[in-house]
A and B are shown apart, each in its own frame.
Chain A
């Protein structure tokens, strides 16, 4: 089977794997921070749960929701990356990820983005950038205590 390069770049093994077996896919009963993300254009919906301790460290994080492979894998990988990070570190990661997904920086420019490199393919697909960033925007909203956000 020959797929075009663009599809191969986007649907890498790591994305397909996280889509099929999402990590931290569960509700947290008493989250300290929570937000609902919604991309009305696709109908993608996901909830992000966080427990942040008094030292501003993410001690637990999870998500549940429905969406495409890109949004689901992005959420799954995000949860694995932000765990045990401080809010400051999470914010920097979000910023770097956002710049990479929108093509402002190359993934190699920032070593922190190494594990997010699979998503750099969306920069050529404007309609799919929101799929990749939905989880991160929702996480950002949870940190800012906005309970419902929508990426349009």
Chain B
């Protein structure tokens, strides 16, 4: 059966040559899955790495590898220079004032755990409130739940509206003098909503509330300036911005980091150790115990270089076009309902199809070479809020094409035909 109507054919769009050129940097996009060309639409879970990043990591291993901050020998100095050079790139990438404010971690989860344990544990007490948005990833809920349990602080949920936007009116009402910390993602991984972080941070400053922003889903999509945003802490992961897994960053305002105790103890985070007295190392090393993910950090630096080499303004507007196109195309799928339609969201569509479980959708799509995420997206409270067990999520990156959106739509039409879904 021909599942593509004439109307949808006439709406077909051609992917710009600049995007096709960028795609050549990503070797994995050429592979086949189930004898079909891979259509990778799971960028919210992990983005692919360009060859430039892989080459940098390889070159490091082949020529420079050693431990950092330790040896007087040539290799250790080279490794240290590359590793610290990447930190400087990351500093500039997020607009931080100093590399003292750029702490390497294993990823967003560790970054938030660091803040919760080092800042939260020391500064929260019974009667204090932690505001957490209803659209947080578990990584920005569970660490706070653990700290609330230890300190007696109370977790208060900031509600979201039906379109997946944060309820800013409710937030204003929730603000009071007992609120100490506010946790919100810059971009929701389950809904794609972009939260007004600058406005939230301003409101928080007026009340002396510390902001902890989960930026995992933002960094790969648009430029970040932590100073302009006016946030206190900003966490993100390398592998969601075309870098490797195993490395991430915690940005913290120097004034706050300076007062915090280390999260983990070990080598490299101390200036001197005796059994009587230990002196912590200076920032940011105080928070970097043990041998860090050196190759990954250097690879992340290469990802920053790569993103900087692209015309990000063009990519942003192209991703908007992709989203608009995908949203329009998905309308042709019977029984499909989008979850999260906030204005200005990133290029991500989360949806349910009446009568078909997301896992069945995911398996059938996989059979067509289309990779999407299905399930709760580590954001169970979001699923509860919308009264659904799970969603299917197609999350795009700048290297995705209009043709791939057509492939997604065609595969979904096969699902609805198999399960006999009608509008």
Question: Which residues of chain A have a CB within 8 Å of any CB of chain B?
Answer: 1, 3-4, 6-7, 10-11, 16, 19-20, 41-44, 66-70, 72, 125, 127-128, 131
Residues 337-380 of B, flagged 1 when their CB comes within 8 A of A and 0 if not, give: 00000000000000000001111100110011000001110000
In whole angstroms, how far apart are the Cα atoms of A10 and B360 in the complex?
10
Beta-carbon contact of B419 and A69 below 8 Å: yes
Beta-carbon contact of A1 and B364 below 8 Å: no
In whole angstroms, how far apart are the Cα atoms of A69 and B358 in the complex?
10
Beta-carbon contact of B375 and A42 below 8 Å: yes
Partner of A67, one of B357, B368, B383: B357
Question: Which residues of chain B have a CB within 8 Å of any CB of chain A?
Answer: 1, 3, 34-36, 356-360, 363-364, 367-368, 374-376, 383, 389-390, 413-414, 417-420
In the assembled complex, the CB of A112 is this many whole angstroms from the nearest CB of chain B, namely 27
Given A4-B36, A19-B419, A42-B375, 19 additional A-B pairs, CB 8 A: A1-B413, A1-B417, A1-B418, A3-B364, A3-B367, A4-B34, A6-B34, A7-B364, A7-B414, A16-B419, A20-B420, A41-B375, A42-B374, A43-B376, A43-B389, A44-B389, A68-B359, A70-B360, A128-B359
| Inter-chain contacts of B414 with A (CB < 8 A) | 1, 3, 7
| Inter-chain contacts of A6 with B (CB < 8 A) | 34, 367
| Inter-chain contacts of B364 with A (CB < 8 A) | 3, 7, 11
Beta-carbon contact of B360 and A69 below 8 Å: yes
Nearest residue, chain A, Cβ from B359: A68
In whole angstroms, how far apart are the Cα atoms of A124 and B360 in the complex?
15
Q: Which of B367, B368, B419, B420 has its CB near the most chain A CB atoms (within 10 A)?
A: B367
In whole angstroms, how far apart are the Cα atoms of A7 and B280 in the complex?
58
In the assembled complex, the CB of B80 is this many whole angstroms from the nearest CB of chain A, namely 41
In whole angstroms, how far apart are the Cα atoms of A68 and B355 in the complex?
10
Beta-carbon contact of B418 and A128 below 8 Å: no
Beta-carbon contact of B390 and A42 below 8 Å: yes
Q: List 8 A-B contacts (CB under 8 A).
A: A11-B360, A11-B418, A42-B359, A42-B374, A43-B375, A43-B389, A67-B357, A68-B359
